[in-house]
Structure 1
């Protein structure tokens, strides 16, 4: 896992010589796609003993929900919306919107409690673009997360304010024509 190290100007026997601050990483692509490299990073980090969480906001179809996370090993939780379908439009019925909001609130809560050191928010930019999750809440989440938490945000059309606070931006694009 990548992290920034800061060296304090004053060392005391009670303070460690450095603190680890988590990074905000953005992986964006012009189309909706599953970013295998991001998932591989979460698997690798969790396999090394670091608690990780993958949240897929727009994926449904398996009636999972935040109450029934998939446990991949001891340190990786994977949660999705409790929906019978994947979200591909901003028009949601009341139960779909409630499920998405419950997932977002659950994510904010467990991250603020420091349960995870790596959090992947898959297709969050699309949820923001659809108006399902307010951009202001996303920025607040990033700013107020525990400082040691690495956050990876994925999706197409990442909002500029998110890009402005990112430590690393990776744009995935095709280098050939199909």
Structure 2
């Protein structure tokens, strides 16, 4: 999954090295039970020594935000919006909107700096759906990210434009048997 290393081309007729690029993964569903598998993936990769960032856009927490990341182990940073509540509506007051935008701007900055090799953007699709983060900004961000960085986007109602550029799409469905 994470392939930042330049590897000699195995095709002996070419002398040009190649590098494997990071991928864009999408995890989507209409129920909320898949985040555990995404976090397990992030923990496994961080445990192998790879820097990981998990950003939860719609989850709040007391004294959180980019200034107070939760650190799990030495390689996994976890940040949430600096709000006392979770966002479940497109109707935010001015301070909530500022907090969400501040987290979005910070996320773009640290990803472009290349500090992390895997970045999980939890519920970014709902932020887009609520009109809180512009879909065009997300697409531009994904296009300009450093090529070695893997991005995982989660959430329901994933925009078609993101699905079209994703390298891997995982749709979690429940199978009910009568």
State TM-score, norm by structure 2: 0.91
Q: Name the SS for the 1:111 alignment partner.
A: helix
Whether the 8 Å contact between 2:2 and 2:117 is mirrored in structure 1 is no
Q: Specify the SS of the correspondent of 2:20.
A: strand
Equivalent-residue separation in structure 2 for 1:3 and 1:29 (angstroms): 27
For residues 34 and 67 of structure 2, what CA distance do their matches in structure 1 show?
A: 23
1:153 is matched with 153
Aligned match of 1:11 in 6, 9, 15? 15
CA distance in 2, matches of 1:145, 1:2: 15
- The secondary structure found in structure 1 opposite 2:98 is helix
Matches within 5 A, 1:39-118: 39-118=39-118
Structure 2, unaligned stretches of length 5 or more?
A: none
Cα RMSD between the aligned structures? 2.1
Provide TM-score, normalisation by structure 1: 0.91
Ranges in structure 1 where 5+ consecutive residues have no aligned partner: none
Mapped to 2, the partners of 1:161 and 1:2 lie a distance apart of: 24
Summarize the alignment of residues 128-143 of structure 1 with structure 2, pairs less than 5 Å apart.
Answer: 128-143=128-143
Q: What is the number of equivalent residue pairs in this alignment?
A: 174
